[in-house]
Structure 1
Amino acid sequence: MARVHVIGAGLAGLSAAVELSGGWQVSLYEAAPQAGGRCRSYFDSALGMTIDNGNHLLLSGNHAALAYANKIGGADKLAGPDEAAFDFCDLARNRRWTLRPNAGKLPWWILVPDRRVPNTAGLDYLALVKLLFAKPDQLLRPFLGTGGIARDLWDPLFVSALNTDPAEASAALAGAIVRETFAEGGAACRPLVAVEGLSAAFVDPALEFLRNRGADVRFGAKLRAIQFAEGRATALDFGEDIVTLAEEDRVVLAVTAPVATALLPGLTAPDEFRAIVNAHFAYPAPKSLPLLTGVIGGASEWLFGFSDRLSVTISAAERFLATPREELAATVWAEVQAVAGFSAPLPAWQIIKEKRATFAATPQQDALRPGVETQWRNVFLAGDWTRTSLPATIEGAIRSGRRAAAAVDVTLSTGF
């Protein structure tokens, strides 16, 4: 039987391996000592608890991610409100509101004042419709404008989704998000959070799933080079171990864009990246605090209220990379208290700065994203940086893995 060698155990690689493990022999290689890539949990000694290396949010319209979670048995680790609801707190103006899209596709919610952003009208939401027709070379800011609704809603939503400032972000990628969520109605917009950690929902069940199906999973296996001959990959060089590829073997390269371009001569891929900063505090969320709160008018952007900690995410966070960690922790903690409505000394904290968290979701970088196939007939690509039509999200990563697996299936089934 053919063997498929999946390089990289982030969500893209795990997704590909899970899809392929039902019909082919699978070997999964990961350079790090653990799986998950940028979407994983770890025990943090400073906090004395397990946290995620970055906070991530799913929406109920993320069908590939939810299908993956269901398949591996991790879906029960996701939690959220029964209906689409996004709580916001404006620190500068001391006001709060909840955005509540209705479940159906007909968006009557924009006509109901207590379901939309205060001091906005239904016509203000037409930006979503216009984004559906955005062209690949168009920037996002002209669609959103610079008025109150941009500040209070569009910027927080799209900066977090694209991890790129709207002034330089791709309108087409933003439109893809709208097409699969808001355009489908509130039933596709319900927020979901991995309340027991990202690994519990997306990583650990996948590894168990693969091992139960006979997959060979290897950690600490860094691919150093790929050998090529006659239009195909012939061997994988892991340093002390070289894996020779049989004619029928296939390779799914599910690594980061910089690693992929180093391994595959001539590969074009995104080469600009944007940062994300996450702040974690060992302080249980007050019972009155929603699981997720958008923060307006501060450094913080989204506050996650977990049972054992409070966590904040800041996207497109280049402006904070040079800020001392202690200073940033104090600033964010003050904002957390204001949003959550309590006063307490700064608890144990952790600041995680990911300088190259995602590719820059600009029109120029989007145009550099490669498809699944490569110039080598037995090598396929997966990763949120490949051409998924989405920005770098969990949904995009898992979708890329599924597409790579489908391409492998075709070539193995047809013999090409």
Structure 2
Amino acid sequence: MTSAEHSDVVVAGAGASGLAAAVALAEAGAKVILLERRPYIGGRAYSYDHPALEETVDSQHVVLGCCTNILDLCQRAGMVDAIRWYDELTFLEPNGRRSLMRSGRLPAPAHQAMSFLRAPMLNMRDKAAIARGMAHFLRGYPTTDDESFAVWLKQTGQTERAIRHFWEPVVVGALNDGFERCSVKYAGKVFHESFLRSSEAGLLGIPAAPLSDFFAPIAQMAERLGVRVKLKTGVERIEQGTDGRWSIFSGGERFTAGSVVLATDFKQTRALLARLPNHTAEAEALSNSFDRFIAAPITTIHLWYDRDVTDLDHAVLLDTRIQWMFGKSRIRRWPAARGSYLELVISASWPELEMGREEILASALRETELFFPAIRHATLMKSGVLKEARATFSVTPGLDRFRPEQTTAWPGVYLAGDWTRTEWPSTMEGAVRSGRLAAGAVVNDPRRFMAKETPASGMMRWLSRAFR
């Protein structure tokens, strides 16, 4: 065992939550060490060089205009061109028919009303049902998470096509699970923020670089602030000494600090906390709460063609297993001579976990050709399938009471991660919020590092006041 390296705070995990916590604490003047067990940063939002494909691959993540904390962090890191912004969403049917959702001249919440009324993917009965449902989220969304979205759909009389062509692609794509395992609270949050609050809140942002590259400027900013970043350094255990300081062990190395932020997933966090003395009901309740979390998978299919096969940067695909198509070569501004790169996303992909690569690929190719017939005239140069078995956690009804706060029963130990109590689902924004909340807990000022929320605009400013 080498001699201990001392700091004020050790942050375990260099995903979005750990990076956010480390930057905030360093800006507050703390000496911080950031440990990451992988050879790259980003946590679950990562990219890597695929040796067989000789390509950099990741599972695409997106942000919205309402994701104020990750956007603030990016702004602080000087990432002006790191995100491509889009003010419209294309819903594609297998026959190639397009429905566009975009902002117009009407004030919020009616800013997308004209494009919604013109959308051919829905008939007037479907649109009336959706409008009736959306009215429930004008004032916000439920403060409790006890009801499933499946129950809500029945209560509001949604039509089969409205569910299939609107509610399902948005909810499954955003929350990565089916209606029974998504609470109305978080589904309602998605619709309130994306479609009603303001045109700015609903803007879609897609990282313009592979995810580890996307997060690199934030890690570089952390290092400029004095954070010591150590990759390939996984935390094996933590112990508290008689002086109250914490020892963090990784292989033959030991780090000591007054505080520890565990910015790890709920499985690894549980394992680390299980080795600590458990003398309180609070500690026992936290241990039991981990049983309530369900990890949800995402499968992505990566296709490289010799030519451009679509004029769209992204699209929602209807009536198929695939929820999203991202034209990554277009998003990343590849030259035409380089060909095209598509990523297809299957959310809540439990069936695909049991399927072989060739079966998944064959099915995806058949379905994709229905939406993009130009593929028939292109050559598939290479392909890959990426399964993320623990991509997110499911916001199941009633989970909020088990999502832990950033403080713990062990003084000096704090929790970060999108699964903690952030009031957000499993997203990059939720992760950054958790890291900033954990940093606030360390300095005993919980909201100190939090960014302001996106303000409501148009009539929503009046509605927010009226229904407050």
TM-score, normalised relative to structure 2: 0.81
Match of 2:205 among 178, 192, 201: 192
Partner residue of 2:251 out of 231, 239, 246: 239
Amino acid at match of 1:408: V
Report if the CA contact (8 A) 1:177-1:390 is conserved: no
**C-alpha deviation, 1:338, in angstroms:** 2.7
| Residue identity matched to 1:281 | L
State the distance in 1 between where 2:37 and 2:57 align.
21
Q: Which residue of 2 aligns with 1:206?
A: 218
Structure 2 counterpart of 1:323, from 343, 355, 361? 355
CA distance in 2, matches of 1:397, 1:34: 17
RMSD (Å) for aligned C-alpha atoms:
2.5
What is the match of residue 163 of structure 1?
176
1:289 counterpart residue number: 311
- Residues 129, 17 of structure 1: CA spacing in aligned structure 2 closer, same or farther, 3 A cutoff? farther
CA-CA distance at 1:288 after TM superposition: 4.6
> Is 1:257 equivalent to 2:266 in the alignment?
yes
Matching of residue 16 in structure 1 with residue 21 in structure 2: yes
- Assess if the C-alpha contact under 8 Å between 1:289 and 1:340 holds in 2: no
Which residue of the partner structure matches residue 46 of structure 1? 52
Amino acid across the alignment from 2:247:
A
Give how far 1:310 is off: 0.4
Cα pair 1:6 1:253 within 8 Å, conserved: yes
Q: What is residue 450 of structure 2 aligned with on the other side?
A: none
Deviating more after overlay: 23-32 vs 138-147:
138-147
User: 1:146: how far off?
Assistant: 5.0
CA distance in 2: counterparts of 1:277 and 1:232, whole angstroms: 44
Q: Describe how 1:8-407 pairs up with structure 2 within 5 A.
A: 8-22=13-27, 23-52=29-58, 54-81=59-86, 83=87, 85-91=88-94, 94-102=96-104, 104-110=107-113, 113-114=117-118, 117-120=121-124, 121-122=127-128, 124-131=130-137, 132-134=140-142, 135-144=144-153, 145-201=158-214, 203-228=215-240, 234-245=246-257, 249-265=258-274, 266=283, 267=286, 268-269=289-290, 270-283=292-305, 286=308, 288-307=310-329, 308-342=340-374, 343=376, 344-407=378-441
User: Whole-Å Cα distance in 2 between the matches of residues 138 and 302 of structure 1?
Assistant: 27
Kept in 2, the 8 Å contact 1:253–1:260? The answer is yes
TM-superposed CA distance for 1:195, in Å, is: 2.2
Match of 2:248, as an amino acid? L
SS in structure 2 at match of 1:227: strand
Cα distance in structure 2, aligned partners of 1:4 and 1:72 = 21
Deviations 1:216-241 (A, max 9, x none): 11111111111136795621122312
Q: Indicate how the Cα distance of structure 1 residues 389 and 326 shifts in structure 2: closer, same or farther if over 3 A, else same.
A: same
Per-residue CA distance 1:319-344 (angstroms, 9 max, x = gap)? 21111111111211232233233113
Deviation per CA, 1:34-91, whole angstroms, max 9, x where unpaired? Answer: 1111112221233322222x1111112211111111111224121132x2x1101112
Q: Counterpart of 1:260 in 2: which secondary structure?
A: helix
C-alpha change, 1:359 and 1:285, in structure 2 (3 Å) is: farther
Conserved 8 A contact 2:111-2:199:
no
| Residues 374-414 of structure 1: CA deviation (Å, up to 9, x unaligned) | 112211111011111111011101111111112222279xx
> Which residue identity is paired with 2:371?
V
CA-CA distance at 1:108 after TM superposition: 5.0
Aligned partners of 1:301 and 1:315 also within 8 Å: yes
* 2:25/2:32 contact within 8 Å kept: yes
Measure how far apart 1:345 and its partner are: 4.5
Instruction: Give the match's secondary structure for 2:381.
Output: coil
Q: Which residue of 1 aligns with 2:465?
A: none
SS in 2 for 1:276: strand
The separation in 1 between residues aligned to 2:179 and 2:112, in whole angstroms, is 25
Structure 1 position 280, deviation (Å): 0.7
Q: Give the structure with higher Rg (CA).
A: 2
SS in 2 for 1:181: helix
**Which range moves more in the overlay, 101-110 or 34-43?**
101-110
Tell me how far apart the structure 2 counterparts of residues 143 and 47 of structure 1 sit (CA, whole Å). Answer: 44
Change (3 A) 1:374 1:39: same
Q: TM-score, normalised by structure 1?
A: 0.90
Kindly tell me: are residues 108 and 7 of structure 1, through their superposed partners in 2, closer, same or farther at Cα, counting changes over 3 Å?
Answer: closer
In structure 1, the partner of 2:466 is none
Residues in 2 aligned to 1:116 and 1:191: alpha-carbon distance in whole angstroms: 22
AA paired with 2:327? G
